[in-house]
A = this chain, B = another copy of it.
């Protein structure tokens, strides 16, 4: 954050960049909850926060970026995608298993995923919001970039989501104590089959 990118300050009354950023995120959370991911535009979020859309763009890049920050969603496709695509195609299964284990293995990153899943199980609004985000920002982009049919990408993701629930939520043995390599050896070939 440089001086130049801060919003113009009035005579001691205008909020600083941290407050502005938080105010945008607060409005974004409300708008996403009210209108869902697709229904809340970056422009509407800016309007609700009383700032210029260019400032929202500056802080968060795009709507996806706002969503990830607002929801504290611990997976950013903009980080994930290049990492997945940098590896040979035949390692996709293994990369996927290791990426899920890394994210879910960290309690701080797992918590917000579980919070979203929990809400999605109770509340249709939350389910719609997560559905739209997961479909367009995650699956859509990964499937497009890798040429994997969406249905097969979802089968692979489903494998990992269920595995993570058994390992980290229910903590069922022996899967809860299995080593990362053990899980890669067992599951990566199944994912690779979906992704080939």
Contacts and interface: CB of A to CB of B under 8 A. Distances in A.
Interface of A: 114, 117-118, 120-122, 127, 130-131, 134-135, 139, 150-152, 154-155, 157-166, 169-175, 178, 182, 186-187, 189-190, 193-194
A13 to B, nearest CB: 42
B186 A151 contact: yes
Contact of A166 (B157, B178, B186): B157
Given A172-B135, A172-B139, A117 B121 contact: yes
24 contacts: A118-B118, A118-B122, A120-B169, A127-B170, A127-B171, A151-B174, A154-B172, A154-B174, A154-B175, A155-B159, A155-B187, A155-B190, A158-B159, A158-B163, A158-B166, A159-B159, A159-B163, A161-B161, A161-B166, A162-B162, A162-B165, A189-B193, A190-B190, A193-B193
Interface centre among A130, A157, A175 (most CB of B within 10 A): A175
Contacts of A150: 173-174
Nearest to A127: B170
A128 to B, nearest CB: 9
Contact of A162 (B127, B161, B189, B194): B161
Contacts of A160: 162
A160 B160 CA distance: 10
Contacts of A122: 118
B175 A151 contact: yes
A185 B154 CA distance: 14
A141 to B, nearest CB: 14
A182 B149 CA distance: 13
Contacts of A190: 155, 159, 190, 193-194
